[in-house]
Amino acid sequence: MVLPLLVGCNPDVGVSTIRGEMIVSPSLTDVGLVGVGETLDFNLQLDHIDGPAVDIRNATLQWIEGGGFEVLEYPERLDAFGTAFIALRFAPTYSGFHRSLVTIVSDASDSELQVELRGRGGAPAGQVWPLVLDFGLVEDGESGTLELIIASEGEATLSYEVSLLWGTHFETGTARAEVASGVQATQSVTVLSDTSDKLTDTLVITSNDAVTPRWEIPLRANDCEGGSAQLYDEDSDGTTSCAGDCNDDDARIGPGTDEEWDEIDQDCDGVIDEGTPGGDDDGDTFTEAEGDCNDDDDTVNPNAEEIENGVDDDCDGAIDNGVGSDDADGDGVAWWAGDCDDDYADAYPGAPELEDYVDNDCDGSVDEGTTIADDDGDGYSESDGDCDDTTSSVKPGAAEAEDGVDNDCDSTVDEGTRSYDDDADGFTERGDDCDDTDADVNPGAPEVLDDKVDNDCDGQVDE
């Protein structure tokens, strides 16, 4: 069970991110045998167990094997600590095993809940399941065993024999057996691997079933391309090695993964560290870490020649330095190349911003990034007492929110909220302190008789 995200906020200040929590039961529903042409209606139960009410957005059905299952109705909302039901139906139209997956999508903390549905359509004779045995990866020198279910669903005893088409690498258990009506038996199959190569065979089952006297069950091992993907995804990252995972032992590596600066090809595209400071994205043999100030342009790098074009070609921090004319203040940038104050050497594109009430870097903003600038636009600069000038909701006089942040810059975090111990008695409102303004009232306090106060916060006064 996934716990709900506990990053809340004061409802008077922002929108709460606390999400409700619900569970579905049973998590696996096997409706058993239902005759072909018959209908069985049943429910899944949803129980709300924590947090606010939950909005249910959808309940979808995915057929895994066979069909016959149907979602009839689902509730659109589950009230706090309430119970609701999803109505389903199993109506097999043909004999055999059926499996489906119900996915319940909501705004709960666990936004997707899944329930596997199983059922079996009635038939007058035998049935075999599953229809493929995939052993997954079996290392050289190792073995693995899986079982088939052989069910007798007719009125007479089912007699059957098993054999292997090729008889290499695979072995079977009992070769001949009888199964009484309404009973099912298991047939074990073992793979013995002496190679890491793909292994295949076919298990042949012959019986006295007049409708289906012969079943051929494909057997697979080490068959990444043709097998079930989940059996061959060794690091469980959603991609197998045969589908492009260049390191199936590390879930942090696979197609679509964000590239990191670590000399590893995270996204398996054959290029290392692209898009990071350590990658040479424009192919000019310089990375951002090596001083390339524009790694999207191969004509700009520390080894390029500076030309008169209004660009810092050689990445030395100065534009058109050493070329051209009309650089009145000698800072290496002429007025026509973007120097917004060619009489002041500390003002030019790319210059560090100073606390001098001048637009030093010629970007249209004055003193940004310094202590005297209001960088987040909340009316306060760092010199005015703004303790976080990157967030407009943090400033002197701001309302304190229940978010682990000193919103009002008074060096105290979350005071006045349910997460702060306002009366310093060791308990907060979230810790069941029923009066956080009185240090003598808290869950650990002794009850004082005849004071008409619930001192120990147990819901009873002077007990």
Residue 252 has a CB neighbour count (10 Å cut-off) of 12
Q: Cα separations (Å) of 135 from 162, 171, 230, 367?
A: 19, 13, 11, 66
In this structure, what token pair is assigned to residue 293? 């100030």
Beta strand 28-35 with 112-122 is parallel
CB 268 within 8 A of CB 279: no
> In the CATH scheme, what is the homologous superfamily, with its name and number, of domain 21-122?
Immunoglobulins (2.60.40.10)
In this structure, what token pair is assigned to residue 128? 């075999």
The predicted pLDDT at position 15 comes to: 47
Cα gap 332→318, rounded to integer Å: 6
Could you list the pLDDT tens digit for every one of the 463 residues in the chain?
333 333 334 444 444 578 999 999 998 999 987 766 678 999 999 999 999 999 999 999 999 888 899 999 999 999 999 999 999 999 987 778 899 999 999 999 989 999 999 998 765 578 898 989 999 888 888 899 999 999 887 755 788 899 999 888 999 977 888 888 789 999 999 999 888 888 999 999 998 775 778 899 999 988 877 777 777 777 788 877 777 778 877 888 888 888 889 888 888 888 888 888 988 888 899 989 899 999 899 999 999 988 878 788 999 888 777 665 567 787 878 777 788 888 888 889 988 989 888 989 899 888 888 888 888 888 898 888 889 888 999 999 888 888 889 888 988 888 888 888 888 888 988 888 888 888 888 988 898 888 888 888 888 887 7
Burial class (CB in 10 A: 0-12, 13-18, 19+), 152: buried
Cα gap 357→362, rounded to integer Å: 12
DSSP 8-state symbol, 229: H
CATH of 126-221, one of 2.60.40.740, 2.60.40.10, 3.40.50.1980, 3.40.640.10: 2.60.40.10
Within the chain, all domains assigned CATH 2.60.40.10 are found at 21-122, 126-221
Q: In what order do the strands lie in the sheet with 21-25?
A: 21-25, 40-50, 83-90, 69-73
